[in-house]
Amino acid sequence: MLSFLRTLLGETRGATAIEYGLICALIVLVMLGALQGMAGENGGVWGAVKSKSVTAMQAS
């Protein structure tokens, strides 16, 4: 059992794949945060377009 743990801790073949996976996960989290921030602004823009369109239609 002890030799298995030593072998497991000394193994480095999968370390690069794990590091790339963590980097990708971090990039995805940053992208989701940015998209969430942009979603609020986008909703405000379309709300303004809607209100101006309704006002223009009622005036004509």
User: DSSP 3-state assignment of 12?
Assistant: coil
Query: What pLDDT is stored for residue 57 in this prediction?
Result: 93
Query: What pLDDT is stored for residue 56 in this prediction?
Result: 92
CA–CA dist 56, 26 (Å, integer): 45
CA–CA dist 22, 44 (Å, integer): 34
User: DSSP 3-state assignment of 14?
Assistant: coil
List the chain residues with pLDDT less than 70. none
Query: What pLDDT is stored for residue 30 in this prediction?
Result: 96
User: DSSP 3-state assignment of 11?
Assistant: coil
- State the residue for tokens 């303004």: 48
